[in-house]
């Protein structure tokens, strides 16, 4: 019997330490990698929240030298990556620690790529372009959502071109991820909603992705269950550590799913939109999600029915169009419950912008694993529905 190579599935993950206080063990892991000097990557918001200090204390206690780099925008930029790589080289670093949301973590991953190859970050766009291993990377996520700390993705903004580009490679999966729900206590309601919706979209897109498999399905479904049950209560009770932990776990499981199954049209379109308008990534996902689900539904009705059931919808006796309608309605209600009412036109997107946005979305690697084959016109129509 011939082997069908398209049925093979791989699953890659960092070493994960999950739990309250795990951020304080960072020096142990840095010293395991023989750290002489650490480049500590973060951003001003995370620094102001006090989480960088915890990492600094841990390193100081074990006498590990470090240099701090916090010049990272909310959508990290090519020039920030190149600047960080210069700081890394000038200081003679040999380990990178990132603490923050997706932006510092993506920036740190990109810095690692640049210092390993000594080339501009723009030359690595695409899938499996990385030839040399980067320095050891330890990530400490402070949001429950992006999962950059467990993923094969790096997303960087090119402000010259007003686009985001993706680098996908198992070489950018961090070595260690210290996932500490306590660090998410300082997120405001908007950031909690953005990152929580991002995580839910990760799980949904991974489950219907053409790259999904039994390992990713288990994580995707559990992530949907956790996020669907706990995201709204968490935003209503921001100081509840137990709820934060459930959402953080949901985000982690979503990350394990999407990093390995890859994503779909929501993310392809969201990356295009975020590059064009410099909007929060989770907000872009939230604006687009139900429109893409409605578009994709008929390409994978059985899978979407399982998603509906996992999100608590009773599908007994419903026709396929009814399941689709219920699922779309549930997603809209969940978005509204966490405070999202936005449309594209509210952010200044007009019909004339759609061809260009669609072109960039079609170039994004995430479109390749979308369950429904999409052409340029399809993408334009879905954007138009989100106006």
Give the Cα separation of 109 and 102 in Å (integer): 10
Angle, helix 189-208 to helix 265-277, in steps of 10 degrees: 140
The percent of residues in the chain predicted with pLDDT above 70, rounded, is 99
pLDDT range class, residue 153, cuts 50, 70, 90? very high
pLDDT range class, residue 4, cuts 50, 70, 90? confident
Give the Cα separation of 335 and 193 in Å (integer): 8
Tokens at 10, concatenated: 């791989």
pLDDT for res 145: 92
All structural domains of the chain, each given as residue ranges with its CATH number in brackets, are: 7-184 (3.40.50.1970), 187-385 (1.20.1090.10)
Give the Cα separation of 343 and 387 in Å (integer): 6
Q: Which residue has the tokens 């990377």?
A: 137
Long-range CB pairs of 340-346, under 8 A, 24+ apart, other chains included? 340/193, 340/197, 340/283, 340/286, 340/287, 342/283, 342/286, 342/287, 343/287, 343/386, 343/387, 344/273, 344/287, 344/383, 344/386, 344/387, 345/387
pLDDT for res 281: 95
pLDDT range class, residue 210, cuts 50, 70, 90? very high
pLDDT for res 5: 67
Give the Cα separation of 208 and 293 in Å (integer): 10
Q: Mean pLDDT over residues 337-352, rounded?
A: 95
For 173, the enclosing helix (H) or strand (E) is none
Distance of CA 220 to the CA centre of its chain: 14
pLDDT range class, residue 157, cuts 50, 70, 90? very high
Using the predicted structure, report yes or no on whether residue 222 has a pLDDT greater than 90.
yes
Closest to 191 measured CA to CA, from 239, 139, 143:
143
pLDDT range class, residue 9, cuts 50, 70, 90? confident
Q: Mean pLDDT over residues 243-256, rounded?
A: 98
The CB-side HSE value for 244 (13 A sphere, CA atoms) comes to 23
pLDDT range class, residue 109, cuts 50, 70, 90? very high
Give the Cα separation of 175 and 95 in Å (integer): 11
Q: What is the pLDDT of residues 282-333, one digit of tens each?
A: 999 999 999 999 999 999 999 999 999 999 999 999 999 999 999 999 999 9
pLDDT for res 2: 60
Give the Cα separation of 109 and 100 in Å (integer): 13
pLDDT for res 7: 78
pLDDT range class, residue 1, cuts 50, 70, 90? low
Using the predicted structure, report yes or no on whether residue 58 has a pLDDT greater than 90.
yes
Long-range CB pairs of 341-347, under 8 A, 24+ apart, other chains included? 342/283, 342/286, 342/287, 343/287, 343/386, 343/387, 344/273, 344/287, 344/383, 344/386, 344/387, 345/387, 347/277, 347/279, 347/287
pLDDT for res 140: 98
Q: Mean pLDDT over residues 249-261, rounded?
A: 98
């Amino acid at each position: 019997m011939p082997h069908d190579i398209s049925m093979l599935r791989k699953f890659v993950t960092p070493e994960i330490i999950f739990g309250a206080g795990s951020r304080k063990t960072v020096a142990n892991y840095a010293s395991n990698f023989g750290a002489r000097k650490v480049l500590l990557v973060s951003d001003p918001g995370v620094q102001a929240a006090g989480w960088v200090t915890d990492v600094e204390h841990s390193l100081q206690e074990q006498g590990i030298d470090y240099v701090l780099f916090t010049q990272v925008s909310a959508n990290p930029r090519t020039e920030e990556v190149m600047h960080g790589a210069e700081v890394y080289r000038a200081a003679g670093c040999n380990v990178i620690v990132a603490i923050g949301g997706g932006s510092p973590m993506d920036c740190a991953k990109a810095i690692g790529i640049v210092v390993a190859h000594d080339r501009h970050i723009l030359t690595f766009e695409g899938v499996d372009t990385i030839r040399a291993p980067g320095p050891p990377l330890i990530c400490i996520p402070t949001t429950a959502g992006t999962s950059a700390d467990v993923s094969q993705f790096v997303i960087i903004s090119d402000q010259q071109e007003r686009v985001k580009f993706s680098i996908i490679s198992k070489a950018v999966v961090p070595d260690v991820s210290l996932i500490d729900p306590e660090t998410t206590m300082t997120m405001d309601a908007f950031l909690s909603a953005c990152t929580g919706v991002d995580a839910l979209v990760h799980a949904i897109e991974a489950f219907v992705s053409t790259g999904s498999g039994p390992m990713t399905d288990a994580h995707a479904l559990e992530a949907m269950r956790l996020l669907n049950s706990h995201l709204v209560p968490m935003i209503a009770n921001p100081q509840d550590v137990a709820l934060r932990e459930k959402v953080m776990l949901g985000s982690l499981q979503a990350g394990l799913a999407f990093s390995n199954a890859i994503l779909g049209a929501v993310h392809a379109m969201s990356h295009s939109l975020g590059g064009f308008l410099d909007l929060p990534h989770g907000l872009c996902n939230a604006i687009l999600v139900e429109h893409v689900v409605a578009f994709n539904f008929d390409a994978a009705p059985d899978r979407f029915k399982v998603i509906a059931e996992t999100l608590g919808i009773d599908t007994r006796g419903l026709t396929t169009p009814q399941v689709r309608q219920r699922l779309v309605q549930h997603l809209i209600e969940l978005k509204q419950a966490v405070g999202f009412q936005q449309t594209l036109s509210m952010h200044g997107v007009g019909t004339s912008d759609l061809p260009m946005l669609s072109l960039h979305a079609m170039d994004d690697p995430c479109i390749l694993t979308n369950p429904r084959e999409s052409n340029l016109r399809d993408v334009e129509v879905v954007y138009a529905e989100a106006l």
